[in-house]
Amino acid sequence: MRARVLAPVMALALTATAFAAPALAGKPRQKAYAPAATATIHPGVQTRTPSGQCTANFVFTDGTSTYLGQAAHCSGTGEATSTNGCTSGSLPEGTLVRIQGASQPGVMVYNSWIRMQKAGESDPNACDYNDFALVRIDPADVSKTNPSVPFFGGPTGLSSAPIGLGQKVVSYGNSSLRFGLSPLSPKFGRSLGTSDGGWNHTVYTATPGIPGDSGSGFLDASGRAFGTLSTVAIAPLTGSNGVSDLSRELAYAQSHGLPRLTLVNGTEAFNGRL
């Protein structure tokens, strides 16, 4: 396993072999999104590539297309412990991705692992924690999409500040390993601190993230999007998770091929049920 400080970690994609079956945030530009109550595509839905199953984090746009975010390692071709994005293999950009609630497959058009390797990235923190991919939603399914996080509402914007020790955080997603038990989808937790040059936030939630939850989005106490679920760790707390910093992941995407990419704010107010 790769060591991050003293914490052995493992990527959280539910693999096909294990389960067969400068950063900106803003409002969408004249997109016809579905009402939150009826949308079938939203943060927290399951995404499946040929190599694994993950959970979508947030909705993004570049003013032309609409995207779902997922973890880069969801298309990884190595072992679950192969989590260094500068050396680990991935299925190519252009890979079709099945999206829960969509009538057509999406297309993975950006993968941070692939872009870092092409750029010859040498920052070890980026290599370890830049774990972000974008799946373009088919135009036929954009009208079925809403950017609001179920249960919590938001996101209200993008956070680029460190998440302090003990700060409350929330997430939404439900791996198929939980057998569809919807009460387990909302997750409440606390930050265990920010590290690795701001690239990593360690969190503990009830329930902790498990394989299949990879990529899930995290919100701070104000409803701002701050991270995407990447790994499970043994230390500093058994069952804690590594959450990659979304502001840095988004900035990297903007400087490596998607300059107009923005986070889409939710249409539903953040309800603060913390």
Q: Does domain 3-149+249-264 sit in CATH 2.40.10.10?
A: yes
Q: Work out the pLDDT band at 210, boundaries 50, 70, 90.
A: low
pLDDT surpasses 70 at 21: no
Common-topology check for domains 3-149+249-264 and 168-247: yes
The whole-model pTM stands at: 0.87
pLDDT of residue 179: 47
pLDDT digits (tens, 9 = 90+) for 95-113: 999 999 999 999 999 999 9
Domain 168-247 belongs to what architecture? Beta Barrel (2.40)
Residue spans of the domains in the chain: they are 3-149+249-264, 168-247
Residues with Cβ within 8 Å of 56's Cβ and at least 6 positions away in sequence, in order, are: 42, 43, 44, 45, 46, 47, 68, 69, 70, 99, 135, 215, 217
pLDDT of residue 7: 36
Q: 242 has which bridge partners? A: 202, 231
pLDDT of residue 238: 73
pLDDT surpasses 60 at 245: yes
pLDDT digits (tens, 9 = 90+) for 176-193: 555 455 666 899 999 999
Check: CB of residue 67 under 8 Å from CB of residue 137.
Answer: yes
